[in-house]
Structure 1
Amino acid sequence: MTKVTEAIARQWEGLSQLPAAVARTGRELAQPESRTRTTAIQISKATAAAIVAWYIAGELLGSEAAWLAPVTAVLMVHSTGYRSLAEGMKRVVAVAAGVVLAAAVGNLLGLSALGLLLVVPLSLLGARLRWIGAQGEYIAITAVLLLTFGVATDQNFLLAYVTDTLLGAATGALINLFVFPPAYQRSTRAAISDLATHTAEVLRDIAAGARSDWDHDEADRWHRRANRLDDEARAAQTALAWNREGLRYNPWRRRDDRPSEHYQPAVDTLWHIAIEVRSLTRTLRDNLPGDGERELRDEVPPLVDDLAPLLESAAEVVDTFGDDPVVTDGRLSEPVRASLGRAEELFHDMAQRLPQAGSQAPEAYAAGGSTLELVGRILSFLRTLDHDDQPADSDDQR
């Protein structure tokens, strides 16, 4: 009885969470280019493509192989319009090659198992062609199916097989291309923003640690977090690739849709910055003064007084750049330029004061010098994106 009661309680708990789940899904559906909304649109398009393809092939044309049209149409509703066109063409070529191979072997050896000795090896060799990619497997599938079903010598069925595949591929590709084709603009911006935000958080945590007690374990936690930035950098590159493909042959591009070239410098720069942050955390972990348990502040107070604000300023630059990562006409946005200018002032000031701390604690001086160098590289990566030599407030002066 207890087990029954527990099962009922679990079911009731699941049902009680259903309204919240429905509301959450509704909010996600309302967000442009959210994953939930994109998935729902793709499912709807695949369903529509299957219905249209079946109606044309089965009802209008009365094809013998009408079932192939909706099957192919569903499979051709890919993540982007370009991919649907490219994969659809390859699918038709693969099916046509399988049909020709099955017809040739069927007429030569008849509809017997002996024909498989020729069909299988030849079709699998054709499927290995690099240019046809994953669709190459349909050479073998088509040839084997037609031969074993005993229709490899039926010219009308073979023609219908190719025709319905072409019809399904065209239906799926056209619906995917002209009905809400995804451009992945928001996905790209979100990935860039996440990478910048989490990079800045690591820098701020290091700055907070420099002002308080921190030891080898804390530095090791910073380093592990910095290592995870690599995964986010790869996610940003993936989002950028989807953005690039999503805009190819996209007939519904908006004026504010930016090609991947506008985001590529930001992704590359943030990836380099993530590498530098990882090096920074490794330097701090491996170069703590003494036994690694003493505070850096106890060693060189002036060094920490400069280091923490510098790290916070660098974090602000990265954060601001993540909010506005597009470089227009070789010029960073004004908020990014202003933030970068403040960070560079702190950097140059610390570079002048750092040698004074060298005689007080050489080990801490080495750690501070390495940190300063790495932060300098972070700032230089962003500065190289700004090819405009005008001062940041030049617009105000005009």
Structure 2
Amino acid sequence: MRERWGALTSDVRLPGRYQLVQSLKAAAAAALAWALTGWWLAAPMALMAPWAAVALVQGTVYRSLRSAVELIAMMAAGTLLAAGAAAVTGNTMTAMLIALPLTVLLGNWLPVGEQGLYAPTTALFVLAYGTYSLSAVGHRLLETVVGAVVGIAVNAIVLPPVHSLHVRTLACALPRDCSRLLRELSEGLVEEYDEERAERWHRAAGELPGALSDLRAARGWATESFRFNPGHRMRRSTPSPSERWDVVWAQVVNRLLALTLTLWETASEQRGLPRPPGPSLDDLSAVMAAASEVCAADATIMEQGPDDDCLEHRADQLAEARRALAEAKRHLRGPGPDARASLGSLVAGCQALLDDLTPGEDGSALLAGGARTGRI
């Protein structure tokens, strides 16, 4: 029980600033919508307004506006279908059997996403109210519109969400994770790495494409968060990488996947690919150690901005990696054909990796002028 409880609590994280702010905004919007409908419309049980207000404090202002149209349509459909079925049948249970299948089908059929759930749930609430007159239906629809307006207004006026900071955080994490893996590879090549360790390297490299997917998703959120957002110009500016940054690090990730796969195969007893000779592994270790420093420098430059000392250190480490790679190439003539195959694969992968990290038209996006100003 103690182990299970520890595993559960280790996965639980405290809410971040964004979650806390959005939760408080949703609660405030619900309270304001309830107060308005209770005071202005004199509704004794104004449930629709706070319900709609909470639902429309979305992750972006644009998403609040788009969801408002879908939500109002679904809640109106649920209200009208439930009231119509109750008026025709005169029985709540019979009206429920008629309205619920129609509203569920409507929510699943139309391209309204998560808002489709509001059609059948609204029908249930209308039937639970027990009033189906024309004025009661109009009252419910008016409450929905008031709640939608309040939810959108609160989300757009009170700290409107902008997601550029998440993009920059993920972009900085990519070179840092690549640097960490390259450092582990460098240390492992000097030692006598085994199949289990090489497999662990390949699994770590296999997690990097997921980070790239998260970065692309974050860019979509960041772009969307600037649409119809009245407050984004009031946020302070910060360097943010261009999409070329994603392309460069996608190439680096692919190189690491290929390198770790080759190392795994050379360590496996089930494969016929022999391990490269020790001196060549020492040179490849030096290549990866220097490449790790280059990746770490990119992360530092992205976090803190270009710095002459950091740029000089990066250039020195890239040159050191090139020198070590040239030494590794000299071993290609020595071993047998099978060992040359494994060594050649590793050398080719390292050379492609260094080409990707080289500043210029096809190199590092940051040093090639890819950084641009964003907002957080």
Between 1:226-235 and 1:178-187, the stretch displaced more is: 226-235
TM-score by length of 2: 0.78
Whole-Å Cα distance in 2 between the matches of residues 273 and 353 of structure 1? 20
Instruction: Say if 1:333 and 1:377 are closer, same or farther in 2 by CA, change over 3 A.
Output: farther
Offset, 1:151: 1.9
The whole-number CA distance in structure 2 between the counterparts of 1:115 and 1:372 is: 73
Distance 1:373 1:265, change over 3 A: same
Partner of 1:350: 325
How much does 1:58 deviate? Answer: 0.7
Measured against aligned partners, the alpha-carbon deviations of 1:255-279 in whole angstroms (never above 9, x if no partner) come to 62678xx443323432342232122
How many residue pairs get matched?
A: 348
1:307 aligns with 2:307: no
Residue of structure 2 in register with 1:377 after alignment: 352
- Deviation per CA, 1:280-323, whole angstroms, max 9, x where unpaired? 1110121259999xx968x252x234322221232233333334
Inter-partner Cα distance in structure 2 for 1:387 and 1:362: 33
Question: Do residues 169 (structure 1) and 144 (structure 2) align?
Answer: no
Q: Which amino acid aligns with 1:181?
A: P
Is 2:298 the partner of 1:321? yes
Q: Which residue of 2 aligns with 1:91?
A: 71
Which AA in structure 2 matches 1:36?
G
| Deviation of the 1:64 alpha carbon | 4.8
Equivalent positions of 1:173-252 (< 5 A) are 173-252=152-231
Residues 1:76 and 2:76 aligned together: no
Q: Secondary structure at the match of 1:287?
A: helix
Give the counterpart letter for 1:378 in structure 2. Answer: L
Kept in 2, the 8 Å contact 1:124–1:137? The answer is yes
Q: Structure 2 vs 1, CA of residues 130 and 385 (structure 1 numbering), >3 Å: closer, same or farther? A: farther
Q: Which one of 104, 126, 146 corresponds to residue 146 of structure 1? A: 126
Whole-Å separation in 2 of the counterparts to 1:47 and 1:356:
67
Contact conserved, 1:111 with 1:148, CA < 8 A, in 2?
A: no
- The answer for the alignment partner of 2:113 in structure 1 is 133
How many Å apart are 1:127 and its aligned residue?
0.8
CA distance in 2 between counterparts of 1:71 and 1:192 reads 37
Aligned residue type for 2:264: R
TM (norm. structure 1) is: 0.74
Larger mean Cα displacement after TM superposition, 156-165 or 347-356 = 347-356
- Cα deviation, 1:217-248, whole Å, max 9, x if unaligned, reads 33223223222323433333333333233222
Residue 10 of structure 1: aligned partner? none
Cα 1:272–1:130 change in 2 (3 A) is farther
Could you tell me how far apart the structure 2 residues matched to 1:75 and 1:385 are? 47
Structure 1 residues without counterparts, runs of 5 or longer: 1-24, 29-34, 327-331, 394-398
Q: Report % sequence identity.
A: 26
Alignment of 1:287 with 2:266, yes or no, is yes
Please give the root-mean-square deviation of Cα atoms over the aligned residues, in Å.
3.7
Q: SS state of the match for residue 103, structure 1?
A: helix
